[in-house]
Amino acid sequence: MSDDNKFPPENNFPAGYVPPKVWEDTSSGGAFASINKPTAGAQFERELPVGKHPHQLYSLATPNGVKVGIMLEELLAAGHSDAEYDAWLIKINEGDQFGSGFVDINPNSKIPAMMDHAPKGGGEPVRLFESGSILFYLAEKFGAFLPTDVRKRAETMNWAFWQMGAAPYLGGGFGHFYAYAPMKIKYAIDRFSMEVKRQLDVLDKQLANNEFIAGDEYTIADILIFPWYGRLVEGGAYESGEFLQVHSYENVVRWMKMIDARPAVKRGKMVNKAMGDKATQLHERHDASDFETKTQDKLEVAE
């Protein structure tokens, strides 16, 4: 049976569409069409700023970006003073991630990216990209939020990798087709809604018998998962709370509220934030006092 008989083109969207033998780049529109290209590499020359602290974070407070801000603030709150950092705003909607300096750190041109200018053992600075890799690196460097017990460590890493593999279904799948695509496609929304609800059920069942994601300890698994699924069950992600009936995942909601109440999490959510309430936007972070004195509302009043 030919594909045309199995999937008649008149049922495609748009009606009559048949994929060509060779794909060509024709912009499909949508919220991020202007910065999406099928090629990699720097598009212009631009050096990145470097501050005074060992860790230089280049990011934006998207779910993936928030993870690193939370991790660094948690390390500082736990007494690791040498985890100090400078956080620089990368405006992805303006294409900052395609500057040569950023691409030197992350050839994939995605936030977050970080440089460690004081790596454990000394030597040349270490470049870091991919949020899971950054959190694992920091956890190992400081011996924090990653258990040393072999079974607890393995369980933490199970959930860390689960998040890195699962989130694209939530963000690039459900979020894109539900909120950002230039047209509503029922099949796509149904497909990714089903997967996101399945993921929420996975978390809900895990949290039914565990205080934290990986057991009885707060770990990088919680920090990685919270910005995506915590925000989702809070109802803020894509304004989809009612659509997905997120309140029904009671264990995830309980866990979300517990994590969200942590002072370091509240600060981390502000780092490199450039949207929403200006009192919670800290475009750049160079000192602990910045949370009190340099939020966007205060800076605008000073002007």
Distances (CA, A) of 23 to 19, 27, 31, 41, 231: 8, 12, 21, 21, 36
| 76 vs 32, higher pLDDT | 76
Whether residue 125 has a cis bond before it, omega within 30° of 0: no
Nearest to 98 by CA among 23, 34, 169: 34
**pLDDT confidence bin for 115, thresholds 50/70/90:** very high
pLDDT at 2: 53
CATH of 150-267, one of 1.10.3720.10, 1.10.645.10, 1.20.1050.10, 1.20.59.10: 1.20.1050.10
Tens digits of per-residue pLDDT, 132-153? Answer: 999 999 999 999 999 999 999 9
Residue of 241, 227, 120 whose CA lies nearest to 171: 227
Quick one: which of 167, 149, 146 has its CA closest to 212?
146
What pLDDT score does 287 carry? 98
Q: How far apart are CA 168 and CA 147, in angstroms?
A: 27
Confidence of residue 4 (pLDDT cuts 50, 70, 90): low
Q: Is the pLDDT of residue 275 over 90?
A: yes
pTM attached to this predicted model: 0.95
pLDDT of residue 13: 86
Buried b (16+ CB within 10 A) or exposed e, 50-64: ebebbbbbbbbbbbb
3-state secondary structure of 256: helix
Tens-digit pLDDT profile for residues 206-231: 999 999 999 999 999 999 999 999 99
What is residue 35's three-state secondary structure? helix
Top pLDDT among 282 and 34 is at 282
Share of the chain above pLDDT 90, in %: 87
Residue 108 · residue 129 · CB < 8 Å? yes
Q: In 3D, which of 61, 58, 92, 57 has the Cα closest to residue 272?
A: 61
Q: Tokens at residue 42, please?
A: 């720097």
* pLDDT tens digits, 52-83: 999 999 999 999 999 999 999 999 999 999 99
Q: What is the pLDDT of residues 84-108, one digit of tens each?
A: 999 999 999 999 999 999 999 999 9
